[in-house]
């Protein structure tokens, strides 16, 4: 995904001449730095990303613009990769392949007319699609495993439909998140969404704050305030395990300790 090839630079120069929003970014590296920086106008970033998605869908010098999309969304996609690594015991290369396939499929089909936040839609949608694909794969694998004993020595399989619906023993990460959200709601109220997004899902504070109409610092302060309340109520919180298998977070009470909080909120931000 190098941006320094002659072809990539020619494509970028042509794009820059015809796209006023890129006038401040003489080189593609400058554009990537702008897109990945925490500061900067989120609406301008979304406009650039939307334009790149459109160009990729039009297959206009697609490889160059795919590279810009990947690099511009790299912090979010890297977080998706790390979260997926925790949820499944796949080799790193397999996780990378799953994330890449889901991301490119989403870019190819996304309808920008109904999208308000391009970055958030692409990053969260990629993670959702990876987990859906893995879940489907798991269901199919276990279904085949349960059907195998029905085959005789000649390989014949009964044509009788398998009537009992398959229910995977391991709950999906998203299902466990929803259970945790339900436990948190009476305790953290309006701050629940921020706590779940920033601490548990490790989503980008700038994007989450923008989607909720608050500043990143306000979002972080609200999360710290909510976790302070949770620490005071530790002895009242049921000793129930959440996300121990899919998310790697262990006991629910780990969710409110200071180390987890600082890691999720970016240290002393």
DSSP assignment of 95-137, as one string? HHHHHHHHHHHHHHH--GGG-S-HHHHHHHHHHHHHHHHHHHH
Selection from 172, 182, 176 nearest residue 138 by Cα = 172
pLDDT in tens, 116-150: 889 989 998 998 888 888 877 777 766 666 655 54
Residue 166: predicted pLDDT: 40
From 6, 17, 13, 108, select the one nearest 55 (Cα to Cα): 108
Provide the pLDDT confidence category of residue 233 given band limits of 50, 70 and 90.
confident
pLDDT, greater one: 146 or 42: 42
Look over the chain and give the mean of its residue pLDDT values, rounded to a whole number.
Answer: 75
CA distances from 251 to 83, 173, 238 (A): 17, 15, 10
* Whether pLDDT at 33 is above 90: yes
- Region of poorest pLDDT, from 16-20, 79-83, 150-154: 150-154
Position 193 scores a pLDDT of 84
pLDDT tens for 171-229 read 466 677 777 777 777 778 888 888 888 877 777 788 788 777 788 889 889 988 888 88
pLDDT of residue 86: 76
**240 Cβ partners below 8 Å, 6+ apart?**
183, 252
Q: How confident is the model at residue 164 (pLDDT cuts 50, 70, 90)?
A: very low
Residue 58's DSSP bridge partners are: none
Reported confidence tier of residue 100, pLDDT bands at 50, 70, 90: very high
Highest mean pLDDT of the ranges 6-10, 52-56, 157-161:
52-56
Rounded Cα–Cα distance for residues 113 and 102 (Å): 20
Please state the pTM of the whole predicted model.
0.55
The pLDDT of 157-181, averaged and rounded, is 53
Percent of the chain clearing pLDDT 90 (strictly above)? 17
pLDDT at 240: 52
């Amino acid at each position: 995904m190098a941006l320094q090839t002659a072809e990539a630079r020619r494509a970028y120069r042509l794009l820059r001449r015809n796209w006023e929003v890129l006038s401040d970014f003489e080189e593609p590296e400058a554009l990537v730095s702008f897109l990945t920086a925490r500061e900067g106008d989120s609406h301008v970033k979304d406009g650039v990303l939307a334009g790149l998605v459109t160009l990729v869908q039009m297959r206009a010098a697609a490889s160059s613009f795919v590279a810009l999309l990947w690099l511009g969304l790299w912090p979010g996609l890297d977080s998706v990769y790390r979260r997926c690594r925790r949820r499944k015991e796949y080799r790193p290369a397999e996780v990378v392949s799953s994330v890449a396939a889901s991301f490119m499929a989403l870019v190819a089909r996304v309808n920008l007319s109904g999208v308000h936040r391009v970055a958030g839609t692409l990053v969260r949608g990629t993670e959702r699609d990876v987990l859906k694909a893995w879940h489907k794969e798991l269901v199919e694998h276990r279904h085949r495993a349960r059907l195998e004993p029905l085959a005789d020595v000649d390989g014949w399989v009964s044509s009788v439909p398998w009537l009992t619906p398959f229910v995977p023993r391991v709950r999906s990460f998203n299902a466990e998140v929803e259970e945790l959200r339900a436990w948190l709601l009476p305790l953290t109220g309006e701050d629940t969404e921020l706590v779940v997004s920033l601490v548990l899902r490790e989503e980008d504070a700038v994007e989450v704050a923008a989607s909720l109409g608050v500043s990143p610092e306000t979002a972080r302060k609200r999360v710290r305030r909510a976790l302070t309340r949770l620490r005071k109520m530790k002895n009242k919180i049921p000793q129930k395990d959440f996300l121990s298998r899919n998310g790697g977070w262990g006991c629910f009470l780990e969710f409110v300790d200071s180390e987890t909080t600082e890691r999720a909120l970016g240290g002393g931000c």
